[in-house]
Amino acid sequence: MTAGVFGRAAEPIVIDVWSDVVCPFCYLGHAVLREAVEQFPHGSAVQVRYHSFQLNPGFPPGETVLADDYLARQHGMPKAQIAASHAQLTARGAQAGLDYRFERALMVNTLDAHRIIHLAKAHGQESAMVDRLFRAEFTDGLDVSDHKVLAGLAAELGLDRAEAEKALATRAYENDIRADLARARELGITGVPFFVFDDKRAVSGAQPVELFRRALDLSWQDRETQPA
């Protein structure tokens, strides 16, 4: 590795991302960050790490409800307000290549979905699994808490279905999930998506691509000013 590739620090820019798979803003943030990294001249020197966060940790495991109904009932949001928010996100998502179909989206407990992300991470498929879970939730209308669905998505990415089923049945990666949640509390994260660049600067929310590019540029400048 040379300074010309990775900068003087000879280390990748690390972006830590906290998100939840039933969060539509997280899906958009995931897509926009990917676009920013693709535009970044040193994109090959960027490492993105995903961390677990639950928007609704108390949601009963095994239950499902249409996300729109949940928003209306739990947060008292008028249907017109929900529709307006969806329209805005659908338009922004389309620009990023996303196909939001909010009428299909379900609210579920996402703990096992995060378990599958950690399994995928162990096999180098973390980002692909995050992307697939978002698409399952917001385009396909799948129940991303159902073990058969999750194991099927893992197999779709080339992971071993039996291993995925075992991980779900045995509550694997519990310590990893708890560590992610504990770190979020330490950082004061109360909403997602939340992005931390090199443990130095943060971006909160699904911001425009220009803001992510600025954070990447500043992170790269930090490397260039470090002593050799």
Which domains are delineated in the chain?
3-55+110-220 (3.40.30.10)
Q: Which residues of 68-102 are buried (b: 16+ CB within 10 A; e: fewer)?
A: bebbeeeeeeeeeebeeebeebbebbeebebebeb
Confidence bin at 167 (pLDDT 50/70/90) = very high
Mean local confidence (pLDDT), 119-124: 98
Residue 39 has pLDDT above 70, yes or no: yes
Instruction: Establish how many alpha carbons lie within 13 A of residue 88's alpha carbon, considering only the half-sphere containing its beta carbon.
Output: 7
Q: Which is more confidently placed, 68 or 11? A: 68
Rounded (10°) angle between helices 126-135 and 147-156: 130
Does pLDDT of 6 surpass 80?
no
- pLDDT at position 1: 34
CB 161 within 8 A of CB 151: yes
Torsion of CA 102, 107, 111, 117, to 10 degrees: -10
Residues contacting 115, CB < 8 A, separation 6+: 150, 167, 168, 171, 172, 173, 174, 177
Q: Which of 108, 116, 125 is nearest to 172 (CA)?
A: 116
pLDDT for 225 equals 76
Helix (H, G, I), strand (E, B) or coil at 65: strand
| Mean pLDDT computed over 181-198 | 97
pTM of the model: 0.93
Confidence class of residue 227 from pLDDT cuts 50, 70 and 90?
low
Interval 178-199 mean pLDDT: 97
What confidence score (pLDDT) does residue 169 get? Answer: 98
What mean pLDDT do residues 65-90 have? 94
Decide: 27 and 207 in contact? Cβ < 8 Å: no
pLDDT averaged over every residue in the chain: 94
Q: Quick one: which of 4, 3, 15, 11 has its CA closest to 211?
A: 15
Residue 187, CB half-sphere, CA atoms under 13 Å: how many?
24
**Between 111-122 and 147-156, two packed helices, what is the crossing angle to 10 degrees?**
20
Does residue 111 carry a pLDDT above 80? yes
Instruction: Report the SS3 class of residue 204.
Output: strand
Question: Are residues 49 and 30 in contact, defined by beta-carbon separation less than 8 angstroms?
Answer: no
